[in-house]
């Protein structure tokens, strides 16, 4: 555990170094300081570089150099910018997160395809038509691209799997910095309290959210991106600061490129532009003064789209109308993947109707079973319903509350409760799997509880810096006590060792060995981080051996053209 923690400190320092570089070169701001939330700048730069470099090289070449350059940039930042990050509390929070998540296993999707996605980027330059090996391998996430450049078997663990702990630590630490008494600041604190409290009271280890930490997945990290987006949205609504709008765009773009289910964040950007007192002046200030950061965001978006086109044949996989007629694409597989995902999400936990598209997609027969067996029985959704009940009761008790400090401005809450939340939840119902909306749900709960608290007490919130520290560290310590057996692992190395014994050779395609888990045994049926080509269907012969695909899949051909691998259907 100690080695893993020290590795995370090095990664944190390196990330802050790149964040400083972006802020110094790309952002033109009067306030020359580094904040906890500036890590998003480092994520944006490294993720963009990772995608671009992978067009020409395998990413494992750059691990050591990337860390070293980031460390040097951090040292330069100490003499150039004011550093508002409280490192003592940050590293203490990071250690506590490391402690109580240290024995977390991989989530289901990570050994299924997340590890393989990282492997393909780390060990190979970009592959044309990766979708034809396995449709899930074509899911392009900006966060995965960011992680891939850090993917390396270091000592006995892969630091990329633990990297997700750093943004969560920075999120908690950001609430401990002295700030103005803004609704946004209190929302940030309430979000952290809601997240940690849910994990403390959940009976299954650390709950369905923090149990995912330690896996190279893309669902949980978007909680951090969403909370910061909504934080800056509230801050902009109160202050109209141009810098807040910049960070709204930064966090929302990275969130959307990491998981397209967060497209609803565009509504927050649009609304901020609408409520700006002088829209033309704001746009002029944004473009002229900070054109460099928008250029970086544009480049990040372009390389992401190009990468998606190369691996799947679609600009935005699995949105099939964005697909082009290219030899390495498969629009039928793209369409089926989208339908399969929606069908899976709309079924109950027993998955009795998964794949029954007539039931889950072309009727509303799925809705009532989903409500009774999923919505009302899933803990985080129960918390969401409870927060609305508390809000309603608090407003009923205090009908006369009309304090603008509580409501910011009535039109803001009108937009939040009657436009943004309903539209976001409507989008969520297209694929109502709770992990696709954890950030949204936690934020709704936190905002409901914040307004309830203000309504009931009708006074300035009595949470100063000291009380915030007490609350946050108390919850983190409770999580550590909940996982007290991890004390035995304090000086043990994190062992990322996976059983590949059930992965069998099924044949060759042009001298490329093809492996597949053996489903006839009781052993694991995952590819994990297996280094050679690992698939879940017989791509050599084709057929219909993968779930209930409603069409015959063609065999696959693997060719090397100008040093690039092309995986195409015959």
Residue-wise pLDDT for 220-262, tens only, equals 999 999 999 999 999 998 888 888 889 999 999 999 999 999 9
In angstroms, the Cα distances linking 135 to 317, 329, 332 are 10, 11, 11
Do residues 272 and 245 lie in contact, with contact meaning Cβ atoms separated by under 8 Å? yes
Confidence of residue 458 (pLDDT cuts 50, 70, 90): low
Do residues 183 and 80 lie in contact, with contact meaning Cβ atoms separated by under 8 Å? no
Task: Report the pLDDT value the prediction gives residue 401, as an integer from 0 to 100.
Answer: 47
The predicted model gives 426-454 an average pLDDT of 90
Whole-angstrom distance, CA of residue 255 vs CA of residue 141 = 9
Confidence of residue 55 (pLDDT cuts 50, 70, 90): very high
How confident is the model over 358-383, as pLDDT tens digits? 888 988 988 998 888 888 888 898 89
The predicted model gives 93-97 an average pLDDT of 96
How confident is the model over 315-346, as pLDDT tens digits? 999 998 999 999 999 998 899 889 888 988 88
Percent residues over pLDDT 90 in the chain: 52
Task: Report the pLDDT value the prediction gives residue 545, as an integer from 0 to 100.
Answer: 53
**Does the pLDDT value for residue 59 go beyond 70?**
yes
Task: Report the pLDDT value the prediction gives residue 152, as an integer from 0 to 100.
Answer: 86
Percent residues over pLDDT 70 in the chain: 92
How confident is the model over 513-523, as pLDDT tens digits? 999 998 888 88
Is residue 314 classed as helix, strand or coil in its secondary structure? strand
How confident is the model over 184-222, as pLDDT tens digits? 988 999 999 999 999 999 888 888 899 899 899 999 999
- Residue identified by tokens 């950001």 is 174
Task: Report the pLDDT value the prediction gives residue 400, as an integer from 0 to 100.
Answer: 47
How confident is the model over 274-313, as pLDDT tens digits? 877 676 666 766 667 788 999 999 999 999 999 999 999 9
Q: Which helix (H) or strand (E) holds 137?
A: none
Is residue 253 classed as helix, strand or coil in its secondary structure? helix
- Mean pLDDT (the chain, rounded): 88
**Does the pLDDT value for residue 489 go beyond 60?**
yes
- 339 bridge partner residues: none
Q: Which of 187, 263, 281 is nearest to 232 (CA)?
A: 187
The predicted model gives 490-512 an average pLDDT of 84
Backbone angles phi, psi at 557, to 5 degrees: -115, 135
């Amino acid at each position: 555990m100690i080695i893993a923690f020290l590795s995370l400190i090095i990664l944190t320092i390196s990330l802050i170094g790149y964040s400083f570089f972006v802020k110094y070169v790309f952002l033109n701001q009067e306030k020359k300081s580094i904040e906890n939330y500036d890590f998003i700048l480092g994520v944006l730069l490294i993720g963009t570089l990772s995608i671009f470099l992978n067009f020409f090289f395998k990413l494992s070449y750059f691990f050591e150099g990337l860390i070293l350059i980031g460390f040097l940039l951090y040292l330069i930042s100490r003499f150039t910018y004011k550093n508002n990050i409280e490192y003592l509390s940050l590293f203490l929070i990071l250690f506590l997160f490391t402690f109580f998540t240290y024995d977390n296993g991989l989530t289901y999707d990570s050994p299924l395809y997340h590890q393989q996605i990282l492997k393909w980027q780390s060990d190979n330059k970009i592959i044309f038509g990766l979708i034809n090996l396995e449709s899930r391998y074509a899911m392009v996430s900006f966060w995965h691209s960011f992680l891939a450049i850090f993917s390396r078997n270091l000592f006995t663990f892969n630091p990329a799997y633990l990297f997700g702990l750093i943004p969560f630590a920075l999120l908690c630490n950001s609430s401990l910095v002295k700030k103005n008494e803004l609704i946004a600041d209190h929302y940030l604190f309430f979000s952290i309290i809601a997240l940690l409290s849910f994990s403390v009271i959940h009976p299954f280890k650390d709950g369905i959210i923090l149990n995912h930490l330690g896996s190279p997945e893309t669902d949980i990290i978007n909680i951090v991106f969403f909370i910061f987006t909504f934080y800056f949205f509230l801050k902009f609504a109160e202050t109209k600061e141009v810098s807040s709008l910049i960070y709204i765009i930064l966090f929302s773009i990275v969130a959307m490129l990491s998981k397209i289910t967060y497209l609803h964040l565009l509504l927050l950007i649009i609304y901020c532009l609408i409520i700006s007192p002088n829209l033309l002046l704001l746009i002029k200030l944004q473009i002229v003064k900070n054109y460099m950061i928008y250029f970086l965001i544009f480049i990040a978006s372009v390389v992401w789209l190009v990468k998606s086109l190369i691996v799947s044949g679609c600009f935005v996989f699995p949105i099939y109308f964005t697909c082009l007629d290219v030899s390495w694409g498969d629009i039928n597989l793209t369409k089926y993947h989208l339908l399969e995902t929606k069908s899976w999400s709309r079924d109950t936990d027993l998955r009795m109707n998964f794949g029954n598209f007539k039931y889950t997609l072309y009727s509303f027969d799925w809705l009532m079973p989903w409500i009774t067996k999923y919505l009302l029985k899933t803990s985080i959704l129960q918390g969401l319903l409870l927060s609305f009940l508390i809000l309603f009761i608090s407003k009923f008790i205090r009908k006369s509350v009309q304090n603008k400090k509580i409501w910011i401005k009535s039109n803001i809450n009108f937009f939040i409760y009657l436009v943004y939340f309903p539209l976001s939840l409507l989008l969520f119902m297209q694929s109502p799997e709770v992990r696709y909306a954890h950030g949204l749900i936690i934020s709704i709960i936190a905002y409901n509880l914040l307004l309830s608290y203000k309504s009931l007490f009708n006074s300035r919130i009595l949470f100063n810096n000291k009380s915030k520290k007490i609350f946050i560290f108390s919850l983190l310590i409770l999580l550590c006590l909940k996982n007290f057996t991890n004390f035995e692992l304090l000086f043990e190395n994190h062992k990322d060792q996976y059983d590949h014994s059930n992965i069998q050779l099924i044949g060759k395609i042009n001298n490329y060995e093809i492996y597949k888990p053996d489903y006839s045994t009781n052993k694991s049926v995952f590819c994990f981080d297996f280094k050679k080509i690992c698939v879940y269907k017989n791509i050599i012969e084709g057929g219909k051996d993968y779930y209930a695909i409603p069409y015959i899949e063609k065999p696959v051909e693997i060719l090397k053209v100008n040093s690039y691998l092309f995986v195409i259907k015959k």
